[in-house]
Structure 1
Amino acid sequence: MSFDAINDYRKTFPSKQKVIEQTPDPGVRAMLNHLDKAGIPTAFDRFDAQKPHCSFGLAGTCCRICNMGPCRITEKSPKGVCGADAHVIVARNILRWVAAGVAAHGARGREVLLTLKKAASGELALPLLGPEKVLATAKAFGIYQEDKTVAELAEQLADLLLEDMSRAVPATHRTIIAMAPPERVETWSKLDIIPISSYHEVFEALHRTGTGTDGDWENLMKQLLRCGLAFSWNSVVGPSIAADCLYGPPKRSQIETNFASLKKEYVNIALHGHSPVLPSALVQASRDQELVELAKAQGAAGIRLYGICCSGLSSLYRYGEVHPLSNSLGAELIMGTGALDTWVADLQDIYPAIMDVAACFHTKVITTSDSCRLPGAIHMAFDHQHSNMNQTLDQAKEIVRLAISNYPARQKENVYIPEVSLEAEVGFSVENITQAFGSLDELAALIKSGKIKGIVNLVGCNNPKVVYEQAILQVADILLANDIIVLTNGCASFPLLKLGYCSQKALAKAGPGLNEVLGARNLPPVWHMGECLDNARASGLFRALADKSGQPLKHMPVAFASPEWSNEKGVGAALSFRLMGLNSYHCIQAPVQGSDKVSDFFAKDTQDLLGSVMVVLPDPKGLGQKIVEDLEQRRNQLGWDSK
Structure 2
Amino acid sequence: MAKEKHPSETTHKHHHDCHHVHEHADWHTHDHSPSHPHTHGDVRDYMNAVAEYRKTFASKQDVLDHTPDPAVREMMLRMEQIGCDTVFDRFDQQKPQCSFGLAGVCCKFCNMGPCKITAKSPRGVCGADADLIVARNLLRSAAAGVAQHGAHAREILLSLKFIAQGRLNLPLLGEEKLRTVCKAFGIETRGQNSKRLAGKLADVLLADLSRPTPDTYETIKALAPAERQKIWKELDILPISAYNEVFDAYHRTGVGTDGDWQSIMKQFLRCGLAFCFTGVVASNIGTDVMFGTGHRATSKVNIGALKKGYVNIAVHGHLPTLVSEIVRIGHTREFLDLAKKHGAKGIQFYGICCSCLAAMYRYEGVIPLSNAVGAELVLGTGALDLWVADVQDVYPAIMDVARCFKTTVVTTSDSARLPGAEHYAYDHHHSNIEDTEKLARKIVTRAIESFASRRDVPVFIPAYEVTADIGFTAENIAEQFPGYKPLLSALQSGQIRGIVNMVGCSNPRVVYERAVVDVADELLRHNILIFTNGCASFPLLKLGYCSKKGAARAGSSLRQFLTDNDLPPVWHMGECVDNTRASTVFGGIAGAAGIAIKDMPYAFASPEWSNEKGLDASLAFRLFGIDSYHCVEPPVQGSAHVEDFLKKGTAATLGAVMKVNTDPKALAAQIIADIETQRKKLGWK
TM-score, reference length from structure 2: 0.93
**Residue 479 (structure 2) pairs with residue 459 (structure 1):** no
Corresponding residue SS for 1:527: strand
Cα deviation per residue 1:450-507 (whole Å; 9 max; x = unaligned)? 1111110101000000000000000000111111110111100000000000001111
CA shift for structure 1 position 38: 0.3
The match for 1:319 is 363
Which of 21, 32, 54 is equivalent to 2:76? 32
Which of 136, 150, 156 is equivalent to 1:112? 156
Whole-angstrom distance in 1 between the partners of 2:295 and 2:434: 27
Whole-angstrom distance in 2 between the partners of 1:451 and 1:510: 11
Cα deviation per residue 1:423-458 (whole Å; 9 max; x = unaligned)? 001100011112222441111111111111111010
**Residue 291 (structure 2) pairs with residue 247 (structure 1):** yes
Whole-angstrom distance in 2 between the partners of 1:412 and 1:632: 58
Corresponding residue SS for 2:629: strand
The match for 1:88 is 132
Identity of aligned residues (%): 57
The match for 2:213 is 169
The match for 1:437 is 481
1:135/1:144 contact within 8 Å kept: no
2:405/2:457 contact within 8 Å kept: no
Whole-angstrom distance in 2 between the partners of 1:145 and 1:258: 43
The match for 2:122 is 78
**Residue 204 (structure 2) pairs with residue 147 (structure 1):** no
Corresponding residue SS for 1:318: coil
1:339/1:410 contact within 8 Å kept: no
2:352/2:372 contact within 8 Å kept: yes
Whole-angstrom distance in 2 between the partners of 1:71 and 1:483: 49
Whole-angstrom distance in 1 between the partners of 2:205 and 2:307: 41
The match for 1:368 is 412
Following superposition of structure 1 onto structure 2, how do residues 335-414 of structure 1 map, counting pairs within 5 Å? 335-412=379-456, 414=458
Cα deviation per residue 1:217-244 (whole Å; 9 max; x = unaligned)? 0000000000000000011101110110
CA shift for structure 1 position 121: 2.4
Which of 228, 235, 238 is equivalent to 1:194? 238
TM-score, reference length from structure 1: 0.99
Cα deviation per residue 1:54-86 (whole Å; 9 max; x = unaligned)? 000000000010111110000100000000000
Corresponding residue SS for 2:350: strand
Whole-angstrom distance in 2 between the partners of 1:527 and 1:581: 22
1:283/1:321 contact within 8 Å kept: no
Whole-angstrom distance in 1 between the partners of 2:289 and 2:166: 15
Whole-angstrom distance in 1 between the partners of 2:448 and 2:528: 46
CA shift for structure 1 position 359: 1.0
CA shift for structure 1 position 412: 5.0
CA shift for structure 1 position 388: 1.3
Following superposition of structure 1 onto structure 2, how do residues 548-587 of structure 1 map, counting pairs within 5 Å? 548-587=592-631
2:49/2:637 contact within 8 Å kept: no
The match for 2:534 is 490
The match for 2:228 is 184
Deviates more, 1:428-437 or 1:170-179: 428-437
- Name the aligned partner's letter for residue 257 of structure 2: T
CA shift for structure 1 position 413: 5.3
The match for 1:328 is 372
* Count of residues paired in the alignment: 641
Whole-angstrom distance in 2 between the partners of 1:545 and 1:392: 41
Whole-angstrom distance in 2 between the partners of 1:523 and 1:142: 36
Cα deviation per residue 1:558-583 (whole Å; 9 max; x = unaligned)? 11100000000000000000000000
**Residue 81 (structure 2) pairs with residue 54 (structure 1):** no
CA shift for structure 1 position 284: 0.4
Whole-angstrom distance in 2 between the partners of 1:558 and 1:14: 29
Which of 335, 344, 354 is equivalent to 1:310? 354
CA shift for structure 1 position 411: 3.9
**Residue 494 (structure 2) pairs with residue 450 (structure 1):** yes
User: Gaps spanning 5+ residues in structure 1: where?
Assistant: none
Corresponding residue SS for 2:237: coil
User: Gaps spanning 5+ residues in structure 2: where?
Assistant: 1-44
Whole-angstrom distance in 2 between the partners of 1:559 and 1:387: 44
- Name the aligned partner's letter for residue 663 of structure 2: D
Whole-angstrom distance in 2 between the partners of 1:370 and 1:479: 42
Cα deviation per residue 1:331-362 (whole Å; 9 max; x = unaligned)? 00001111100100000000000001111011
CA shift for structure 1 position 369: 0.3
Structure 1 residues 412 and 256, CA, compared in 2 at 3 Å: closer, same or farther?
Answer: farther
The match for 2:341 is 297
1:460/1:532 contact within 8 Å kept: yes
Corresponding residue SS for 1:239: helix
**Residue 659 (structure 2) pairs with residue 623 (structure 1):** no
Whole-angstrom distance in 1 between the partners of 2:188 and 2:65: 57
CA shift for structure 1 position 122: 1.8
- Name the aligned partner's letter for residue 601 of structure 1: F
1:120/1:128 contact within 8 Å kept: no
The match for 2:62 is 18
Deviates more, 1:448-457 or 1:430-439: 430-439
Which of 302, 305, 308 is equivalent to 1:264? 308
Corresponding residue SS for 2:549: helix
CA shift for structure 1 position 117: 0.8
The match for 1:287 is 331
Corresponding residue SS for 1:263: coil
CA shift for structure 1 position 154: 1.2
Which of 544, 554, 558 is equivalent to 2:588? 544
1:338/1:410 contact within 8 Å kept: no
CA shift for structure 1 position 592: 0.6
The match for 2:201 is 157
Corresponding residue SS for 1:457: strand
Corresponding residue SS for 2:499: strand
The match for 2:28 is none
- Name the aligned partner's letter for residue 562 of structure 1: S
CA shift for structure 1 position 409: 2.0
Following superposition of structure 1 onto structure 2, how do residues 493-504 of structure 1 map, counting pairs within 5 Å? 493-504=537-548
CA shift for structure 1 position 151: 1.6
Whole-angstrom distance in 1 between the partners of 2:77 and 2:417: 30
Whole-angstrom distance in 1 between the partners of 2:189 and 2:84: 59
Cα deviation per residue 1:379-429 (whole Å; 9 max; x = unaligned)? 111100112122112211111110001112224552111010000011000
1:587/1:620 contact within 8 Å kept: yes
Moved over 6 A (4+): none
The match for 2:33 is none
Corresponding residue SS for 1:520: helix
Whole-angstrom distance in 2 between the partners of 1:360 and 1:462: 25
1:269/1:304 contact within 8 Å kept: yes
Whole-angstrom distance in 2 between the partners of 1:135 and 1:222: 35
